[in-house]
Amino acid sequence: MTEGEGLTFVLVHGAFQTGTVWEKTASRLRRDGHTVHTPTLAGHGPAEPMTLAHADAVASLTAYLHDHELSDVVLVGHSIGGAYIAQAAEEAPARIKRLVFLSAFIPTAGHALADEFPPPDAAFFDLADPGRGFLLPFPVIRERACNDMDSAAAAAVYADMSPIPVRYFTDKLNLGTFDELVESGRLKTSYINPLSDYALPPGEYAAFPRFALRLGQLARILQIPGSHYVMLSRPAELADTLVAAGRD
**Which pLDDT tens digit goes with each residue over 191-235?**
999 999 999 999 999 999 999 999 999 999 999 999 999 999 999
Whether 107 contacts 115, CB under 8 Å: yes
Q: Is residue 2 part of a domain?
A: no
Beta bridge partners of 76: 11, 100
Range of the domain at 145: 8-246
Please report the pLDDT score of residue 5 as a whole number: 80
Q: What are phi and psi of 235, to 5 degrees?
A: -65, -40
> Could you list the pLDDT tens digit for every one of the 248 residues in the chain?
334 589 999 999 999 999 999 999 999 999 999 999 999 999 999 999 999 999 999 999 999 999 999 999 999 999 999 999 999 999 999 999 999 999 999 999 999 999 999 999 999 898 899 999 999 999 999 999 999 999 999 999 999 999 999 999 999 999 999 999 999 999 999 999 999 999 999 999 999 999 999 999 999 999 999 999 999 999 999 999 999 999 99
* Beta carbons within 8 Å of 91's beta carbon, 6+ residues apart: 58, 62
Q: Is residue 3 part of a domain?
A: no
How far is it, in rounded angstroms, from Cα 210 to Cα 158? 27
Whether 159 contacts 141, CB under 8 Å: no
Exposure class string for 16-25: b at 16+ Cβ within 10 A, else e: bbbbebbebb
What CATH code is carried by the domain that includes residue 170? 3.40.50.1820
- Domains of the chain: total: 1
Whether 101 contacts 85, CB under 8 Å: yes
Positive or negative torsion for Cα 71, 75, 80, 83: positive
Instruction: Determine what percent of the chain falls in helix, strand and coil, rounding each to the nearest 5.
Output: 40, 15, 45
Q: What are phi and psi of 195, to 5 degrees?
A: -70, -20
Please report the pLDDT score of residue 172 as a whole number: 97
Please report the pLDDT score of residue 18 as a whole number: 98
Q: Is residue 104 part of a domain?
A: yes
Beta bridge partners of 192: 102, 222
Please report the pLDDT score of residue 4 as a whole number: 55
Q: Is residue 147 part of a domain?
A: yes
Q: Is residue 1 part of a domain?
A: no
Q: Is residue 225 part of a domain?
A: yes
